Amino acid sequence: MADNKIELTKKDRLHVWWRSTFIQGSWNYERMQNGGWAYTMIPALKKLYTTKEDRAAALKRHLEFFNTHPYLASPIIGVTLALEEDRANGAPIDDVAIQGVKVGMMGPLAGIGDPVFWFTVRPILGAIAASLAISGNILGPLIYFFGWNLIRMAFTWYTQEFGYRAGSRISEDMSGGLLQDVTKGASILGMFILGSLINRWVVVKFLPVVSTVKLQKGAYIDWNNLHGMKGVQTALTQQAAGLSLTSNKVTTLQNNLDALIPGLAGLGITLICMWLLKKGVSPIVQILGLFVIGVVLHVIGLM
Amino acid sequence: MNLNAIQIILVIIVAFLAGMEGILDEFQFHQPVVACTLIGLVTGQLIPCLMLGGSLQMIALGWANVGAAVAPDAALASIASAIILVLGGQGKAGISSAIALAIPLAVAGLLLTIIARTIATAIVHLMDAAAAEGSFGKVDMWHVIAICMQGVRIAIPAALILAIGAGPVKGLLAQMPTWLTGGLSVGGGMVVAVGYAMVINMIATREVWPFFAIGFVLATIQQLTLLGLGAIGLSLALIYLSLSKQGGSGSNGGNGNSGSGTGDQVGDIIDNY
């Protein structure tokens, strides 16, 4: 094994890095970034696997569900490159291990990428650029475009390399059983994260009003007796103190469900989808069906 | 104002780039401050379009695709409003009405995004077929086609606006039924469940289901960020791994000492005594 070890060179890794720019290109409702992920891995897979069977298996493995922040995919790509490299060289790394690593890392990393890039760096850069542009200064878009891409490209390259080195360390220690640990740990982390993502990212909201209760005097802000700016101040103070904005307490069906446990409906939909998948109902049918259900429920005012 | 053939082609190319970036989110060609400026550059209306881009950028500062949720379509908003500004021929005076149009356009653009992402689902199935043959070339090809489709998503509306002019576009937008856009966004909130269901079917075993339950329940605590949840998940995995190892060595030791292997330390001590 050590004699003719296939290794990914820096050139290969640069090639993968460039392709990772297009990871969201075939973003779809079924497996999200999977097409882009496979596209990104192809230069490495081409080098590591030569038979048709190996190549087909590798492509299939990398067309599984994947979704994270597009830039934070880079460290995951790095780790996966290292795992694939060792797998190609005979290490016992199975599909579940690779998928587990991917799923386990994608949620938390998306949790870093969204606030950092979309809600911090981009608004700051955007505000600077916009204020220049509004005054007719062409530097606005230039600063925005070059500044952003410099930050992005440096970030994705260095985190991919970081992931690659970390991934190599994981699989170097073969005798210590570290690999089996990583496999099991990854699937535990993966399931944990899936549980939380379903709660956070499957959005279901029932609108029907279950009850409208008239509140006692003093439990709500009495708008009729408030006047002028002083009144606004009083109202804000009262609201902060927990007084209701209206004289009625409106409870929706969603409020009732949330009192049970928030996200229960999303979990229910996921479980039904799992069952349908096992019954052989195609994901596309399920997706179209959910859109139809969404429109119908919206029209009848349930959601 | 009328554009010549070369300008029309360049406008459509810029629209195509912005459409691609609307999904890729990498080079940021779709951000108003960049996209509007590019339209201004190719139509000779640089300064008004630059200023429009700046104003729109301020509005779109916080628009972002998070998870599977889609933000209003910055690409369509920037491209279409810049074209309308140019066609209107009012220069800087037309900026405010172009902005007023941009917002409904951004929302209408969501519909196109949903259509494109649904078509992409079919494309991915063609990739599956290519993967079964072990063909890297075909997977590459379908991915590139998917990216181009996203470009076309903005290029076609841009061409339409150029063809029919700014006025009728306003009327058309006013007729978009809200029941359809509202319903589709409700559906969009639910469809992500299908993807999660597929992954769970793949990695779930009897052993790891409890961790799914813990993750689900902990996620109801809104103060916990995804990063925090990740840390908890990782810790749980590490604890489980080390405990399962200790359990293994413990029962071996137990067999050696007492022969009963009950794991009951007090019982073992009494037996040995």
Q: What is the pLDDT of residue A94?
A: 83
Out of A86-90, A180-184, B139-143, B148-152, which region has the weakest mean confidence (pLDDT)? A180-184
How many domains, chain B?
A: 2
The more confidently predicted of residues A171 and A89 is: A89
Q: Which residues of A touch B208 (CB under 8 A)?
A: 187-188, 190-191
Q: What is the CA radius of gyration of chain A?
A: 26
Tell whether B104 and B227 lie within a shared domain: no
Tell whether A188 and A215 lie within a shared domain: no
Tell whether A25 and A59 lie within a shared domain: yes
Model confidence at B127: pLDDT above 60 = yes
Tell whether B65 and B161 lie within a shared domain: yes
Tell whether B39 and B137 lie within a shared domain: yes
CB of A168 within 8 A of CB of A212? no
Q: What is the pLDDT of residues A197-228, one digit of tens each?
A: 888 878 787 877 777 777 777 777 777 777 77
Tell whether B170 and B129 lie within a shared domain: yes
Tell whether A81 and A189 lie within a shared domain: yes
Tell whether A216 and A142 lie within a shared domain: no
Q: What is the pLDDT of residues B63-83, one digit of tens each?
A: 776 655 567 788 999 999 999
Percentage of chain A beyond pLDDT 90 is 38
B260 — pLDDT class (breaks 50, 70, 90) = very low
- What CA–CA distance (Å, rounded) separates B24 from B37? 20
Q: Is B183 within the bounds of a domain?
A: no
- What CA–CA distance (Å, rounded) separates B193 from A65? 12
Averaged pLDDT of chain B: 82
Q: Is A123 within the bounds of a domain?
A: yes
ipTM value greater than 0.85: no
Tell whether B41 and B169 lie within a shared domain: yes
Q: What is the pLDDT of residues A153-188, one digit of tens each?
A: 999 999 999 999 988 776 666 555 666 777 778 788
Q: What is the pLDDT of residues B159-185, one digit of tens each?
A: 999 988 767 766 666 666 778 777 877
Q: Which residues of A touch B133 (CB under 8 A)?
A: 52, 56
Model confidence at B269: pLDDT above 60 = no
The partner residue sitting opposite A141, judged by closest CB among B34, B65, B139, is: B34
Q: What is the pLDDT of residue B174?
A: 65
Q: Is B67 within the bounds of a domain?
A: yes
Choosing from A144, A179, A201, the residue where a domain stops is A201
B238 vs A: CB within 8 A = yes
Tell whether A83 and A148 lie within a shared domain: yes
Size of the A and B interface in Cβ pairs below 8 Å:
395
The partner residue sitting opposite B51, judged by closest CB among A133, A270, A297, is: A133
Q: Is A261 within the bounds of a domain?
A: yes
Q: What is the pLDDT of residue B263?
A: 47
CB of A109 within 8 A of CB of A68? yes
Q: What is the pLDDT of residues A90-138, one digit of tens each?
A: 888 888 888 888 888 887 788 777 777 887 788 778 888 988 898 899 9
Residue with token string 């916990």: B224
Tell whether A97 and A240 lie within a shared domain: no
Q: Of A193, A207, A257, A271, which to mutate for an interface test with B (greatest number of B Cβ within 10 Å)?
A: A193
Q: What is the pLDDT of residue B139?
A: 96
Long-range contacts of A237-246 (CB under 8 A, 24+ apart): A243/A219, A244/A215, A244/A219, A244/A220, A245/A220, A245/A221, A246/A220
Averaged pLDDT of chain A: 85
- Best CA proximity match to A196, nearest among A110, A286, A121: A110
Choosing from B156, B176, B196, the residue where a domain stops is B176
Tell whether A195 and A227 lie within a shared domain: no
Model confidence at B144: pLDDT above 90 = yes
The partner residue sitting opposite B139, judged by closest CB among A59, A64, A148, is: A59
Tell whether B74 and B152 lie within a shared domain: yes
Q: Is A147 within the bounds of a domain?
A: yes
Q: Is B11 within the bounds of a domain?
A: yes
The amino acid that residue B40 corresponds to is: G
Tell whether B14 and B148 lie within a shared domain: yes
B14 — pLDDT class (breaks 50, 70, 90) = very high
- What CA–CA distance (Å, rounded) separates B124 from A36? 10
Choosing from A166, A201, A236, the residue where a domain stops is A201
Choosing from A176, A201, A226, the residue where a domain stops is A201
Tell whether B226 and B145 lie within a shared domain: no
Model confidence at B11: pLDDT above 50 = yes
Choosing from B128, B161, B176, the residue where a domain stops is B176
Tell whether B221 and B160 lie within a shared domain: no
CB of A172 within 8 A of CB of A88? no
Question: Is the torsion defined by CA of A50, A40, B227, A271 positive or negative?
Answer: negative
Mean per-residue pLDDT for B124-147? 95
Q: Which residues of B touch A190 (CB under 8 A)?
A: 199, 203, 208
CB of B133 within 8 A of CB of A58? no
Percentage of chain B beyond pLDDT 70 is 83
Tell whether B143 and B214 lie within a shared domain: no
Q: Is B137 within the bounds of a domain?
A: yes
Choosing from B133, B155, B176, the residue where a domain stops is B176
Tell whether A35 and A160 lie within a shared domain: yes
Chain centre distance of CA B221: 24
Q: Of B186, B205, B214, B225, which to mutate for an interface test with A (greatest number of A Cβ within 10 Å)?
A: B186
B248 lies in which domain range? 209-272
- What CA–CA distance (Å, rounded) separates A151 from A147? 6
- What CA–CA distance (Å, rounded) separates B214 from B92? 57
Tell whether A70 and A115 lie within a shared domain: yes
The partner residue sitting opposite B184, judged by closest CB among A45, A186, A294, is: A294
Q: Is A4 within the bounds of a domain?
A: no
Tell whether B222 and B172 lie within a shared domain: no
How many domains, chain A?
A: 2
A230 — pLDDT class (breaks 50, 70, 90) = confident
- What CA–CA distance (Å, rounded) separates B112 from B162? 18
The partner residue sitting opposite B189, judged by closest CB among A130, A188, A203, is: A203
Tell whether A121 and A256 lie within a shared domain: no
Contact at CB, B24 and A31, closer than 8 angstroms: no
Q: What is the pLDDT of residue A165?
A: 92
Q: What are phi and psi of B45, to 5 degrees?
A: -115, 45
Q: Is A5 within the bounds of a domain?
A: no
A288 — pLDDT class (breaks 50, 70, 90) = confident
Q: Of A21, A33, A37, A59, which to mutate for an interface test with B (greatest number of B Cβ within 10 Å)?
A: A59
Q: Which residues of B touch A201 (CB under 8 A)?
A: 67-69, 192
- What CA–CA distance (Å, rounded) separates B14 from A173? 51
Q: Which residues of B touch A270 (CB under 8 A)?
A: 193, 196-197, 200
- For chain B, what is the largest distance between any 2 Cα atoms, rounded to a whole number of angstroms? 103
Q: Is B223 within the bounds of a domain?
A: yes
Tell whether B107 and B214 lie within a shared domain: no
Q: Is B51 helix (H, G, I), strand (E, B) or coil?
A: helix
Tell whether A152 and A216 lie within a shared domain: no
Q: What is the pLDDT of residue B255?
A: 39
A276 lies in which domain range? 209-299
Q: Is B204 within the bounds of a domain?
A: no
Q: What is the pLDDT of residues A142-157, one digit of tens each?
A: 999 999 999 999 999 9
Q: Is A119 within the bounds of a domain?
A: yes
pTM here is: 0.73
Q: What is the pLDDT of residues B232-259, one digit of tens each?
A: 988 998 899 888 887 654 444 333 343 3
Tell whether A168 and A239 lie within a shared domain: no
Q: Is B90 helix (H, G, I), strand (E, B) or coil?
A: coil
